[in-house]
Amino acid sequence: MWDYPKSAKHRAFIDELQAKHERELAKVRAAEKKQARAADGQQALEEIKAQSAATREKTARLRAERLARAAENLLEKRAKAVRKKK
């Protein structure tokens, strides 16, 4: 700004204003970081829930396939046993 000499009282006031401004700026930045972390946490939680749901669906599908195969194998074994008895 201007380069004229300032009194000590004036300089102290300016220093105080700058310090206050820096503290307020630090609070705002901290609040922004906190909000960003909360949003990231929420997004991560949603991703985890989606992955968990996908895993449960996949497990249920694979279990159904395994049980169907087991039932089919059991029927084939019984059919073979009946054919052997005849």
pLDDT score of 86: 65
Residue 31 located in a structural domain: yes
pLDDT score of 61: 98
Contacts of 27-36 with C-beta under 8 Å, sequence gap 24+, read none
pLDDT tens over the chain, length 86 residues = 566 667 888 888 888 999 999 999 999 999 999 999 999 999 999 999 999 999 999 999 999 999 999 999 999 988 888 888 76
H or E element in which residue 85 lies: helix 8-85
Sign of CA dihedral 13, 14, 17, 18: negative
Residue 79 located in a structural domain: yes
Domains contained in the chain, number? 1
Residue 52 located in a structural domain: yes
Residue 55 located in a structural domain: yes
CB 20 within 8 Å of CB 12: no
Domain span at 38: 24-85
Residue 14 located in a structural domain: no
For the chain, the average pLDDT equals: 91
